[in-house]
Structure 1
Amino acid sequence: MPKGRIYEEALEILADAGVPVPDDLTKETRKLILTAPEAQLAFFLAKPMDVATYVEYGVADLGIVGKDVLLEESRNVYELLDLQISPCRVSVAGLPDKKTVNGRIATKYPSIAEKYFRSIGEQVEVVKLNGSIELAPLIGLADRIVDIVSTGQTLRENGLIELETITTVTSRLIANRASYQLKYKRINQFYDQLKQHIERRGSRDEDRQSE
């Protein structure tokens, strides 16, 4: 399970789908491993960028992770299901005048940024930062940034605008490749449980929109 923006929505979709979740998951806790013994499940709480790593190396059979992480990390895992939660986008943003001064792009997603600008034939220097990406254009470190955008509020508050959308992002259910073969029945049951819930929720949303 990822900490941060995906966590609450992921927890809600698991509970609504009937997956037993430990009581501690719904509370403020510093525990990193929580168990639901009756369902023979253990939940590991990790930074979003680390979830796919734990799954790839088999210490977790399944994980919930943003598509942005999968695109950036290129981990060797199975992507099983689009959970349709935490929608956002990976975008290029910068100051409104759009002037290119130093050709630098600041980002937490160097792989995504490099592939995108290569695909449009633009040569840039990608500078990796770990936080406060919006600061880079304001102090002249970079002309533009590549970052996750949800509401755009942080960009607006810092005088930046969204220039281009690279890709849209939602959260995905992923599986370790070996676990998927060895524990197929259990994993497929878990998959079906979530898939059916997502389909029912989608039908309810369509019904409400048509009223």
Structure 2
Amino acid sequence: MVEVDGRVVRRTQAERSAAMRTRLLDATVESLVAHGYAGTTTPRIAEIAGVTRGAQIHHFRSKEDLVVAAIEHLAQQRTQAAIRELGQVQSIPDPVATALDFLWEAHQGPMFIATVELWVAARTDRVLAQHIERVEPVVNGTLIAAIAQLMPGHPAQKEIRNVVYTAMDALRGILVSSFIDDDPKRARRRWDRACVHLRQVAAGVLPQAD
């Protein structure tokens, strides 16, 4: 049951089922971050979610089922996060700096770490790779669409997209290598250094601040 406008309302079976699925998927993401893909097991996910193994099996019969659903779950979360960020990056005098800062923020936190765990696991798991190949373009497209809002009507949309992809490739490489770095601030310094060069690349394509 949930409280709505001071009234206790009984949830429907569909609502309870959806809530349980979300709980298990959030636990899967938490496990991926804390224990990695290899250490993510169905008993561990059930424990993190605080549910019985029977409840977990009722919704997801195997680790593969959970992980495949978690890919979709992660994609939705990352897309929603990008949309939320979009509202904070409009009407900015320097769209290039804003776009680069936006990309940095969009790749921080547990969602990106869990995503990297799945990327690495997919190298030797073709089924996993196929699901990731299906959802990643949606996430990347949302990030690019968010950045495009900074410069509506700009004629070089293809060039803008290419610059953004180059920036994402550089950023993701920096962040993955930072997982074994004992200096938590080094990744940001490396990104700031990369941004100097990325701004030069963007100078002939994206509108610059006066």
Under TM normalisation by the shorter chain, which class is it?
Answer: under 0.3
TM-score after normalising by structure 2: 0.27
Q: Which has the higher strand share?
A: 1
Q: Which has the higher helix share?
A: 2
